[in-house]
Amino acid sequence: MTVERSILLIVGVVVLGSALLAAFHNPNWLWLTGLMGAHLIQASFTGMCPVVMTLKKLGLPTKAGFA
């Protein structure tokens, strides 16, 4: 698994998890979904993402885009 695919998996799990928690537990969990969206926008402009840096340090290979 590459860094790019791992990021998609992690973001998907966090967003889906927070949406399910909001639906079945407490609506305040939607803040996590909003923060994740804001971070994705920020990362697209700056290129800085702590999760990507961590995955690279763990040795996951990178691959250009969705080739």
Integer Cα distance of 30 and 27 in angstroms: 6
Tokens of 24: 């079945």
Percent residues over pLDDT 90 in the chain: 70
Residue 66 has pLDDT above 70, yes or no: no
pTM over 0.75: yes
Residue 67 has pLDDT above 60, yes or no: no
pLDDT, tens digit, for every residue of 3-30? 989 998 999 999 999 999 999 999 999 9
**What three-state secondary structure class fits 35?**
helix
Tokens of 46: 């700056």
Tokens of 10: 């992690």
The domain locations on the chain are 3-57
